[in-house]
Structure 1
Amino acid sequence: RDIEDLGWGLVNLFHRAAAKKHGLVDRLTDDIRLLLAEQDGSEISTANLEDKIELAKKVEESAGSFEVMRDVAAAHYIRETGKSWVPSSGNRISLGVTAGIVDGHAFLRARRERALNANTAQGTPVVFAGGRLTFATDDEMKTFADNLLATLNKVRAHVGDMYLVHGGDMKGIERLAASWADQNGIQQVRFGLDRKLGDRAGFRRNEQMLSLKPRFVIAFQGNGVTERLVIEAKARNIRVVDRRGPLGVAPASLNAGRRQQSS
């Protein structure tokens, strides 16, 4: 547990350093907008604008370096702990840096585009849902994990451009799915609970995830919110990969129905 905490803290140091740099770039961006509005064509105003743009580019490059270090540290973290590194708040994205910014307007436009692309998942959404489970033995836990990973790999074989949508519960089985996605280079979209909604929060999250029109909903054992997600997905003709049976297999009733169809 100590190693896990120390590892998380190390990754978080790089993450916070990158966030601090991006905050500075945001402030410099405001300065650039102001200088653009005040441009009078004089040599002094042009030089001030160029200096501010150059500084913003250097700070953004520095932020990108911290993001690279964070991502490398996060990869080591998942190898050592088997858990995906997730920040305590906010997103884990990398804006990157575009070279050859020629003027203030281009700088502002490029930064907006990078921020938009970094916050937009590309591909086909697949929703994953499940709760916090306990197991009687280590063998049962391993069997469940094997079944979960096999299910994810099977879905990925059908949806090569998938990105994984989940609730981000790092104390439940969504942690395993997030780790699988990290290890396979698959983008993730995390819908956290809006605590202000109280008991309604989980159902609101269901609505948000299904609004993406996912190709599949992968459902493992969970609570009533998971059950409602399955019901709503079927009502919208979204295919459900139902693994709510014992140790992450299809429910007995579903298997029985398949046997009857084949007989």
Structure 2
Amino acid sequence: MYNSFIEQLAGLDLSGFSIKPAPFDQTDFPCDDAIDQTLTGVWSDLFSMFAGTALEADAEDIAWGFVNLFHRAATRKSSQLDRASNEIRALLACADGSEVHSSNLEEQIGRAQAAEASMVAFEQMREMAATLYREEMGSSWRPMSGSRSRHSGTFTSAVIDARDFLRARAERRRNAHSPEGTPVVFAGGRSSFPSTDGAKMFANAVWATLDKVRDRVPDMFLVHGGDSKGADRLAASWAERHNVQQLVFSLDRRLGARAGFKRNEQMLDLKPRYVVAFAGNGVLERLVIEAKLRRVTIVDRRILPSATR
């Protein structure tokens, strides 16, 4: 039976046969309400199952992974978009005006459009899941590596010219990674507290300070080191709740002991309006000194009660 099938397949006339992606249609994607309602329902059922069980302590890891599912899907679509964009560039470089070339170019543009629309949809799902994570865990969700950028808007099939597509793609990429407004640097270390009330008082102090800074700088974007367990985590949570853009400067571990000082330099090179400083280590103290030398205003909150580093 197997050989017979192979023989029949070999006898088929497949000349001119090709496999193309399905026609791109923006309306094929889930609507906003469907995304919000579905993810909220799944989240509620999943974590109510953990409540009061031995798995409750692992709920945060599961929650992080839930958000990461959509982040990884968006990242894969972004990679597909990059490959399609590279194909478009290659086709433009060898344009010969033939019908075959035009067809290939049109097909690659269609692939790119579909990949970008899928990427934006998955990013929307990730942002909804990240909101649920923040409400459940009280902190901002961040990927293990890379940026959590979001591309505003989608690419429409009305764009036909390949050069227009590539210019639009480059512009969206820049916008997704470039916050707009006035930079405000936030710095703080990790603290321990003798009671839950002490931890809440500290969190409230961080948030109240940032509220006051935002009153003075309405177009601020927050610059910080992205520590997932320290004061940076509280600042990131505040930024998400207030829709304030964030620019994270992670440590370059290759620099060893110089990494923290290099990060200080990079953040201050942005010429921030303020440096908001809570208690931290010697690297933070050096940040305050350098900021003063550059005549940057310090919002000094390094002395707060009920906290030990």
The answer on 1:57 being equivalent to 2:113 is yes
Q: After TM superposition, give the deviation of residue 248 of structure 1 in Å.
A: 8.8
Q: CA offsets, 1:175-194, max 9 Å, x none? A: 00000001110000000000
Candidates 57, 60, 76, aligned match of 2:132: 76
Amino acid at match of 1:206: N
The answer on 1:86 being equivalent to 2:142 is yes
Q: CA offsets, 1:95-115, max 9 Å, x none? A: 242323221111111100000
| Other-structure match for 2:165 | 107
| Other-structure match for 1:234 | 292
Q: Equivalent residue of 1:246, what SS?
A: coil
Q: Equivalent residue of 1:165, what SS?
A: strand
Q: Distance in 1 between matches of 2:100 and 2:257?
A: 59
Q: Distance in 2 between matches of 1:210 and 1:247?
A: 28
Amino acid at match of 2:250: G
Amino acid at match of 1:190: V
Q: CA offsets, 1:214-238, max 9 Å, x none? A: 0000000000000000000011110
Q: After TM superposition, give the deviation of residue 44 of structure 1 in Å.
A: 1.3
Q: After TM superposition, give the deviation of residue 138 of structure 1 in Å.
A: 1.9
The answer on 1:184 being equivalent to 2:242 is yes
Q: For the Cα contact (< 8 Å) 1:143–1:247, is it kept in 2? A: no
Candidates 141, 148, 168, aligned match of 2:226: 168
Q: Distance in 2 between matches of 1:206 and 1:199?
A: 13
The aligned length equals 249
| Other-structure match for 1:204 | 262
Q: Equivalent residue of 2:186, what SS?
A: strand
Amino acid at match of 1:27: R
Unpaired runs of at least 5, structure 1: 250-263
The answer on 1:98 being equivalent to 2:155 is yes
Percentage of pairs with the same residue: 55
**Where does structure 1 differ by over 6 angstroms across 4 or more consecutive aligned residues?**
none
Q: For the Cα contact (< 8 Å) 2:193–2:306, is it kept in 1? A: no
Q: After TM superposition, give the deviation of residue 195 of structure 1 in Å.
A: 0.3
Q: Equivalent residue of 2:194, what SS?
A: coil
Change (3 A) 1:248 1:39: farther
Q: CA offsets, 1:35-54, max 9 Å, x none? A: 11111111111111011101
The answer on 1:3 being equivalent to 2:3 is no
Q: Distance in 1 between matches of 2:257 and 2:70?
A: 35
TM-score normalized by structure 1? 0.92
Q: Distance in 1 between matches of 2:68 and 2:135?
A: 16
**Once superposed, what is the RMSD of the aligned Cα atoms?**
1.2
Q: Distance in 1 between matches of 2:143 and 2:174?
A: 20
Q: After TM superposition, give the deviation of residue 68 of structure 1 in Å.
A: 0.4
TM-score normalized by structure 2? 0.79
Q: Distance in 1 between matches of 2:283 and 2:255?
A: 14
Amino acid at match of 2:248: R
Q: For the Cα contact (< 8 Å) 1:148–1:248, is it kept in 2? A: no
| Other-structure match for 2:192 | 134
Structure of larger gyration radius: 2
Q: For the Cα contact (< 8 Å) 1:128–1:174, is it kept in 2? A: yes
Q: Equivalent residue of 1:133, what SS?
A: coil
| Other-structure match for 2:217 | 159
Candidates 32, 41, 57, aligned match of 2:88: 32
The answer on 1:245 being equivalent to 2:292 is no
| Other-structure match for 2:25 | none
Amino acid at match of 1:127: V
Q: Equivalent residue of 2:305, what SS?
A: helix
Q: For the Cα contact (< 8 Å) 1:147–1:248, is it kept in 2? A: no
The answer on 1:67 being equivalent to 2:123 is yes
| Other-structure match for 1:46 | 102
Q: For the Cα contact (< 8 Å) 1:220–1:248, is it kept in 2? A: no
Q: For the Cα contact (< 8 Å) 2:117–2:155, is it kept in 1? A: no
Candidates 219, 222, 241, aligned match of 2:280: 222
Q: For the Cα contact (< 8 Å) 2:279–2:301, is it kept in 1? A: yes
The answer on 1:117 being equivalent to 2:175 is yes
Amino acid at match of 1:8: W
Q: For the Cα contact (< 8 Å) 1:29–1:108, is it kept in 2? A: yes
Change (3 A) 1:22 1:242: same
